[in-house]
A = this chain, B = another copy of it.
Amino acid sequence: MQEKEYKNIKRNADIRMKGFKEKKDVADFFNIIDEKISPLPGIELVSLNKAAGRVLASSIKSQVKVPNYDRSAMDGYAIRGEETFGASTYSPIEFKVLGLSLPGKPFEGCVTTQTAVRIMTGAPIPEGADSVIPAELASEENSYLKVAESIPPGKNVGKIGEDVEIGQEILCAGRKLRPQDIGILSSIGISTLPVIKKPIIDVFITGDELLKPGSMPEGYKIVDSNSVMLDALVFRDIQIHPNIIFLEDRRELIRNALCKSNADFILISGGSSVGQEDHAPSLVKELGEMLIHGVALRPASPSGMGIINGKPIFLIPGNPVSCLCSYDLFASRAIRKCAGINYELPYKSVTLPLSSKISSMVGRMDYVRVKINNECVEPLAISGASLLSTTTIADGFLLVPGECEGYPSGANVKIYLYD
């Protein structure tokens, strides 16, 4: 049957066992993603304590003022500011202390001539008062306050609506919600809010040499690493786990899984290249449209993207370094764009000098794992797509663009830091 399959390949003139005729640029792949992928339609309502990191589906305007009253910005005494004019250490001015204004427990009376009300930060300014003298600039004894400094009217008073006005747009649609955003939404009385849905992701793991994670490697079988790695990568990006589905390398099984999937995205790990068991590319062509397949990138050149019934399908090489590189550059970009979040590479970057030169072929982007030693960048590996240890030993990676033949020792290069 395998021999028959091979003859079919030859007859049907597909690309298997022939290599890619042409490899597209990484930038072409980005353009296809950017053109084809949009934030998911529809919204999800979430409560405030689930909203951080989510993306607002519509803008939020305030129905209220924050605060809803003039309040003290200090611990001290509420007074009429102009009555302190002329006060000094040598001739302090005296005020009778009428009572206390606490946050949530206002002073009920009125501040009149030469009177004061002790007041705490956040407490309502009593009627009649217009400023607050800080506690450390006054001294109180037997209900009389001595003020030795003049305070202009309005000083240390937070005006009604100073934080938020009625009708003010607090946050725009598309905002990725920060902790402080959740705080301000709470302060204006919001408890649930509409956010962009997260895509549901199916991850198909193919490869007859693979044992499931949790197994010990045995004989000619290896234990799959891509499923748990892709699980962690998808979780990093959208904080939900994908559905992981292991599939035998049988064309009908993979076809069936592609047709049955209810996910918003499918990632297929393995079988994405031009080997005779690489079913994914031809299945995508059979069931839908292949938008790009074969990229001028090392590793991860057998990456691809197609569409079946409007659903994006990402072909991810089975070699684990290629899998990481392909996911981060392509699938991750698409998934994050779909979730409405920033879709640039999700790594911190630094620029540092190279400790030795990097040679790269013009026309191909290289994903180079690097280590940082003494504030210098040491290239570790360009090739070795199957050696995941190159990415665990590395501190990060750099991308040598296609138009570049590499960098001399000492050149400043931008490094993306893993983690």
Contacts and interface: CB of A to CB of B under 8 A. Distances in A.
A214 B228 contact: no
A19 to B, nearest CB: 3
Count chain B CB atoms within 10 A of each CB in A191, A220, A231 and give the residue with the most: A220
A66 interface: yes
Interface in A158-202: 158, 162-164, 170-171, 176, 178-189, 191
A223 B104 contact: no
A372 interface: no
A122 B187 contact: no
A398 interface: no
B209 A103 contact: yes
Contacts of A91: none
B179 A324 contact: yes
A81 B296 CA distance: 28
Which of A103, A104, A191, A223 gathers most chain B CB within 10 Å? A103
Contacts of A386: 67, 71, 73, 122, 158, 162-163
A68 interface: yes
A180 B73 CA distance: 50
Interface string A389-412: 101100000000000000000000
A184 B388 contact: yes
A146 interface: no
A346 to B, nearest CB: 10
A112 interface: no
Given A75-B17, A225-B183, A207 B104 contact: yes
Nearest to A192: B214
Contacts of A218: 68
22 contacts: A2-B102, A6-B118, A48-B214, A100-B276, A102-B208, A102-B277, A104-B207, A120-B276, A121-B273, A122-B209, A123-B209, A158-B386, A163-B387, A178-B232, A178-B418, A179-B230, A180-B320, A180-B391, A186-B223, A187-B223, A187-B388, A348-B348
Given A180-B391, A191-B214, 18 more contacts: A17-B135, A18-B135, A48-B213, A64-B217, A66-B217, A67-B222, A75-B273, A100-B276, A104-B208, A121-B318, A122-B319, A162-B386, A180-B320, A180-B324, A180-B392, A183-B320, A186-B229, A188-B217
